[in-house]
Amino acid sequence: QVQLQESGPGLVKPSETLSLTCSVSGGSISAYYWTWIRQPPGKGLEWIGYIHSSGSTHYNPSLKTRVTISVDTSTNHFSLNLRSVTAADTAVYYCARGVRRISVYYYYYMDVWGKGTTVTVSS
């Protein structure tokens, strides 16, 4: 059974870079879309982006200029870097496994989620 676990600093200063890692255990990292989603306190979910095990990425246009997602298939980890953070980036950050129907680009959903990690942006 695949399990995901987020890790990283719980506090980041404004203008700095938020860096999180997701560890994938119990299954292969190949052939899936490894995804980051966030949820500000008391609010809804926001899709940040994904990276396929092949290295291809797709980011939310609203965050694209600040986001990088990378994957290390040798260690079964993938990571999120979010640059120039502000208080608006304070949220619970979830990593998730994305599944896509073959040859149907838009048919994509997240079937396994990590428990989430809280990141606060504050000086």
108 binds another protein (CB under 8 A): yes
- Closest approach of another protein to the CB of residue 73, in Å: 23
Contact set for another protein, span 26-45 (CB under 8 A): 37, 44-45
Report d(CA 13, CA 46) in Å as an integer.
21
- 89 phi/psi in degrees, rounded to 5: -90, 0
Considering only 11-19, 68-76, 80-88, 114-122, which stretch makes contact with another protein by CB under 8 A? 114-122
Applying CB under 8 A, which of residues 41, 56, 61, 74 lies at the interface with another protein? 61
Residue 83 burial (CB < 10 Å; 0-12/13-18/19+)?
middle
- Closest approach of another protein to the CB of residue 75, in Å: 23
Beta pairing, strands 18-25 & 3-7: antiparallel
Q: What share of the chain is helix, strand, coil (3-state, %, to 5)?
A: 0, 55, 45
Report d(CA 11, CA 74) in Å as an integer.
28
Considering only 9-17, 23-31, 57-65, 73-81, which stretch makes contact with another protein by CB under 8 A? 57-65
Applying CB under 8 A, which of residues 7, 8, 16, 46 lies at the interface with another protein? 46
Contact residues for another protein (CB under 8 A)? Answer: 37, 44-47, 58, 60-62, 94, 99, 101, 105-116
